[in-house]
Structure 1
């Protein structure tokens, strides 16, 4: 019986080896086909992409909005506008500087004693009252 088992084992081993050889051969063949398929597919994709690029590069695009012609009159008008804006900006800066100077003068007058006397109302009654007050203070 031992011989029978060995022959069965050998037979099974041979069948397994044959099946594994078939699997290995089919994998090789299938792998080669896959590689060839991938190469052919990449080649076709490149051809299609080149065709698309060529088609797009040959197509002339039309703009949605036409660009207006800028003639000399328009540029002259723009130049005049820029000059006018710069003149107005200069005048505004001059007014701001004069306002600042006026504000400084007003602050000096507020701090000045003579300025306070000048702001006092000048009428005869006030002047007499001031004179009397100064005589009373002097001994």
Structure 2
């Protein structure tokens, strides 16, 4: 190798070292900048939140005060609602039982025969239907 190659190699190595060092320095600067911007954004956000939370809003309509009479009427309403719910549940249960009885009656063969009319004409019609 000649001296030109060595000087060229050392120059390249020096340039690469400069690039690495500048990347390190600017990388740290970018990270610090990002941290500082996040901190300032958080401070601004906290400031906005604190100013909004400290602001007292005036309601358009005044809220009526809750008194003992109102709470008693609410208790009466709850009792009434539970009673009506019980009545509805009882009606549902009775309807289900009635439906089951109707299904049993429809499936009952002997009951169908007993409900058939016992006139002579009906008996003749049944006998003719069995023959044909």
Question: Given the two structures, how large is their TM-score scaled by the length of structure 2?
Answer: 0.45
Larger radius of gyration: 1
